[in-house]
Structures are given as structure tokens and as C-alpha cells.
Structure 1
Amino acid sequence: MKICMWNVRGANRNLFLSHAKEIGFNQNPDIFIFLETKADGSRARETMLALKFSDFRVVRPIGTRGGIWMFWKKTVDMVLFDAENTYFHSLFHFKNFGKEGLVTAMHAPSSSKEKHHHWNSIRSNLPPKNTPWLVLGDMNEITGQSEKMGGRPFRVNQGKDMLNFMDEAGLVDLGFNGSPFT
């Protein structure tokens, strides 16, 4: 089972679909999640069909901000889908894994007040402890000075809400591959 996530920063751009096809062909994911689509369900349906996925769900953008699409193939069955403005929870039954797993994708807000609400909202809706859970996305948060370059210095309480959420949920940061400052 393979999941790909891409922060596209606009799915209506001319080269979006050709890049999405290239990633889909090279990676062949069972689930493909697009963040910050800034686009509606009709563009999502068009993209899903072009990438040869079986079904999809959309978290609509708010004006010209946000938007999340999730596509999946017949190798997985969606059991449950619940969405908020900045994230979704989706419970899948993975046929080759033999059990269910929860996938949460988010494009967290960038303002401090909205971040506080976002992390507390997710923290108040944790899955049962024995549920396999993958949380991915653009957290729009840093937890130390080494995660930023330039600008104002890191403040100790800056990533506190996200770290509290991770601690309470028992999540571990798996790290990343690529440019550290995107």
C-alpha cells in the first residue's frame, strides 16, 4: 500500500495535470492526496479520471485558500470520511494489509489563532489507541530554530499546540526527504 501527498498550491494551473500524471505513473500510489488545491470538485473529478483512480473526496477551499483532494484505487475500501475546513479523517480497509487504518491529511492554517483552534479540534477527536494512524500534510508549524531560516527568532511556545497534539496522540515525526526549507 502506497500513499502520496503533494502540496500543489493550485490545481487549476496549466502544468498541474501533466505533473500529477507523472507522479502517479512513477509512484503508482493506492491513495493520492493533494493539498492546497484552491479548486472545486469538478476539477477533482477531471483529475481523478485522468489519473485512473476509482473514487475521490474533496474538502472545499475557502475562497482562494486551502482545499484538499483525496483519490483512491480499488485496492482499498473507504469505511468512513469526516472533514473539517483544514483536514479530513478517512478510515480505510486495506485489502493487502487485512485491517483498517486511519489516514488524516491536513493543510493547517498559518495564523496563530486559527492554528490554536485547528490543533485543539483535532486533539479533541483522537481515534482509539490501537488504531493504525497516519497523519500527513502541511502542518504550517515549526518546533525549533533549526526548522527556519531568517525572519523572527523561534519562540519557545510557537509549536506548543502541535507538540501537545502529537504527544497526546502518541505520534512520531518520521522526518522528510528533500529541501528543509520549502
Structure 2
Amino acid sequence: MSLLCWNCRGLGNPRTVRVLHHLVKEKKPNVVFLIETLCRGNTMEKIICKLGFEGLFVVNPIGRSGGLALLWKENLFLEIFNYSRQHINAIIRNEDGSPGWKFTGFYGFPNAARRWESWELLRLLKTFQPSAWLCAEDFNEILDQSEKQGAALRRISQINQFRRALEDCDLSDLGFSGPRYTWCNNKRDDNFPQERLDRAVANTEWCSRFNYVRVQVLEAICSDHNPILILFNDVPYETGPSRRAFKFEAKWQLDPECNDISKAAWEQEVLESNQLKDIRARLSACQRDLTRWSKAKFRRDAELLKQKSRRLLELQGTNSPNQIEDIKQIQKDIDTFLKRSKMLMLKPHLDALTFVHVY
């Protein structure tokens, strides 16, 4: 199972929506938690129609700030338990009937003067069942000075308040792989502030239930926050090859070769005893030939995108202001690629959606 969490800084920007689609397609999360969506429920409905999620819970922004959203797959037994402007609390139950566990998508108050309210909210959320608890995303605070670079040091009292709140809730940091800092102001100056604000924490009971847990800090293609991907299971991850079901991609229609490939495959000589078997054989030929053609046609583009994404992650991990211009250029290149490749042309499934609006 996997959860994607991201302070996206506004889904009203088409570029951010493209990146979200790309992340969902590449990482295939079961749950997505978004912060600072700056979008109301009706806008979020339109966005998730193309993402393949059936569940949506929205906490609307106030004016031009805030906004939370939780998205989940249809086969997931997820129930919203409570929420506020700073969190969404959900219970995730297992198909086998074993006890469920609690997931909290959390957004710490950006205003340092109100940060104490975030920690009181955490303590309150601890009291709700089930007791196995995973909490993740933007806490707007660091655990020690090593999680901050540039600008003034954080006050020790602020750090200690965060630490005490996690201790009181029996929450421990799950660690990470990838860039050390998850937030950057993206400005080339002497201070060049960077901080690790986005993280995943869990209590002892949750950690004992899921022995294999990984938290990956992903590349920041847009927004000043890196997304984080949480992967976990009670068995080791399978790394072997898997066979994917055939899916006709809408972007293929933009290439004239697609029609030629389909026509040639359909008109191949087929020796079958009845019409139904004849049609099945022709469809199988189209599937086979289109799959081979698409792999040859788009593999280079896909590999180029992966190379740029890896390079972006590498540069963001250097923590150097001298790399800002290179980072921005690669971010622009990736967005141009996503726009050109028409990755977002997916058929909406409105009938299968479950929408919940919170006003």
C-alpha cells in the first residue's frame, strides 16, 4: 500500500495539476493527501475525474489560503472520522476483517504564534480509536537544527514543543530517502533557506503492525514543497517484473501511425471457425501490435522524463543555491514534456465517484 502526500500550493494552476497527474500515474498511490489546494469541492471533482480515484473528501479553503483534500481508491475501506482546517482524520480498514488503523493528514499552522495549537490538536487526535496511528505531511516545524539550512536558526523552544507533542502521542519519525530538505524558497540569495517540514510519523502499535515501511522524498517539479511517498506492508516488497493489463492510451490517437497499425493488424488474415472467435483474434492482434509500437515509439520519451526527474532529485539534494537556475530549467523541461505528451487525456468515471463536500 502507498500514500502520496503533498503541499501542492494551489491546484488552480494547470501546471500543478499536470504534475499531480504525473505523480499518480508513476507512483500509483492508494491514498493521496493534499494541502493548500486553494480549491473548493466542485473544482476538486473535476480534477480527480482524470486521476482514477473514486473517493474524495474536501475541506474548502478560506479566501485564498488553505484547503485540504483526501482521495482514495474504490477498493479501500476508508471512512472519514473527523476533520478541521488543519487535518483530515480517517480510519482505514482491512479487507480480511482485521482491526483497522488511523491515518491523519496534518497541516501545522504556518504562523509560529499559533503553532502550539497544532500540538494540542495532535494530542487530541491521539485519543481517538483505532489506536494504531500514522500521521503525515507538513508540520511546519523541524525536530532539530540540522533539519534547517540558511536564514536564522529556529528557536529551541519551538523545536522542543514539537518534540514533546510527538513524545506525548508516542509518535516517531519514520525516516526518509531522497533530499534532506522538503521545503525551499527557490530564491538564489545568501540565505537560501531550506527546511525539512514534510514528514511521516507513526506510533509503536502502527509500526509493529507494518514491518516494512519506506518514506521517499520525491522531486519537487513545482511548488516549494517536495511530495512524500509512504510505502508499507506486512511482507517484503516484490521487486520482480509484473505484467500490466493492456490499456489504449488516448495520446496514441494524436499520432497518425496509430491508425495505420490498428488497420493493418485488423486486416490480417485470420482462420477461425466463427465470427466471435474471428473478432477476438483480430482484437488480440491489434493489442499485440499496438503494444509493440507504443513501446518503441514512446520508450525514449519516457526514459528522457525519468532521466530529468532523477537529475532534478539529485540537484535538489545538493542543497546549493548555485543550482537554482538549473533546477528551474529542469522543472520547466519536465512540465513542457508533460504538456506535450498529453498524459492527462483520461476518460472520467463520474458514475463511480463518491464526493463529500465540507463547507
On whether the aligned pair clears a TM of 0.5, the verdict is: yes
Say what the alpha-carbon RMSD is for the aligned residues.
1.9
The aligned runs of 1:87-166 (5 Å cut-off) are 87-95=87-95, 98-127=98-127, 131-166=131-166
Find the counterpart in structure 1 of residue 72 from structure 2: 72
For residue 130 of structure 1, report the CA deviation from its aligned partner: 6.6
Q: Distance in 2 between matches of 1:93 and 1:62?
A: 31
TM-score by length of 1: 0.90
Match of 2:261 in 1: none
3-state secondary structure, aligned to 2:161: helix
1:59 alignment partner in structure 2: 59
Segments of 5+ residues of structure 1 without an aligned counterpart are none
% identical equivalent positions: 24
**Residues 64-92 of structure 1: per-residue CA shift (max 9 Å, x gap):** 22211110012212233311111121112
Give the direction of change, closer, same or farther, for the CA distance of 1:37–1:96 in structure 2 (3 Å limit). farther
Shift of 1:154: 2.8
- For 1:23-62, what aligned pairs fall within 5 Å after superposition? 23-62=23-62
Q: Write the letter of the residue equivalent to 1:142.
A: I
Deviations 1:111-135 (A, max 9, x none): 1221111211221231468722110
Whichever residue aligns with residue 54 of structure 2, its letter is: S
Structure number with the bigger relative contact order (C-alpha 8 A, sep ≥ 6) is 2
Q: Do 1:80 and 1:90's aligned partners in 2 also have CA atoms closer than 8 Å? A: yes
1:22 CA drift (Å): 1.2
**Equivalent pair of 1:120/1:161 in contact (CA under 8 Å):** no
1:7 is matched with 7
Q: 1:44 to 1:50 in 2, by over 3 A?
A: same
Measured against aligned partners, the alpha-carbon deviations of 1:9-40 in whole angstroms (never above 9, x if no partner) come to: 11110112221111111111111111111111
How many equivalent pairs are there?
A: 182
Bigger shift: residues 131-140 or 142-151: 142-151
CA distance 1:20–1:96, shift in 2 (3 Å) = farther
Greater CA deviation, 38-47 or 127-136?
127-136
- Whichever structure has more helix as a proportion of its residues is 2
State how far apart, in whole Å, the 1-side matches of 2:128 and 2:84 are. Answer: 19
Counterpart Cα distance in 1 of 2:175 and 2:66: 23
Return the offset for 1:96: 6.3
Asked whether 1:83 is paired with 2:89, we answer: no
Q: Distance in 2 between matches of 1:137 and 1:84?
A: 15
| Paired residue type of 2:166 | M
- 1:9 aligns to what SS in structure 2? coil
CA distance in structure 1 between the partners assigned to 2:101 and 2:89 by the alignment = 10
The one-letter code of the counterpart of 1:151 is A
Q: Residues 7 and 96 (structure 1 numbering): CA distance in 2 closer, same or farther, change over 3 Å?
A: farther
**C-alpha contact (below 8 Å) 1:5/1:34 kept by paired residues:** yes
Question: Greater strand percent: which structure?
Answer: 1
